[in-house]
Amino acid sequence: MKVYLLWQTHDLAADADDKPDEDAKLLGVYSSGLAAQARIVRARQLPGFRDSPDGFEVSEYTVDEDGWSEGYTTV
């Protein structure tokens, strides 16, 4: 079974190193891409979200499937 995660990100003010930080919010997990797109339409009417209308991303995931199965390294 596939699910669709809806994220919204926007840049925050630069930190002490003058590198901008990001703020990410998980708006929900949906049963279809269409349902996630409908949520984007609703969210764009709300304060904050309407100020960053291009910050939405839908990611498709398969339920019960391992992620990061080979670990990771920090660069």
Q: Is the dihedral of CA 38, 28, 12, 49 positive or negative?
A: positive
Cβ atoms 55, 8 nearer than 8 A: yes
The pTM score is 0.78
Sheet holding 20-30, edge to edge: 20-30, 2-14, 56-62
CB neighbours of 15 closer than 8 A, spacing ≥ 6?
21
Note the pLDDT of residue 46. Answer: 95
Taking only the tens place, the pLDDT of each residue in 14-54 is: 556 666 678 899 999 999 999 999 999 999 999 989 988 88
One-letter amino acid identity for 23?
A: D
Virtual torsion, Cα 24, 13, 54, 27, nearest 10 deg = 20
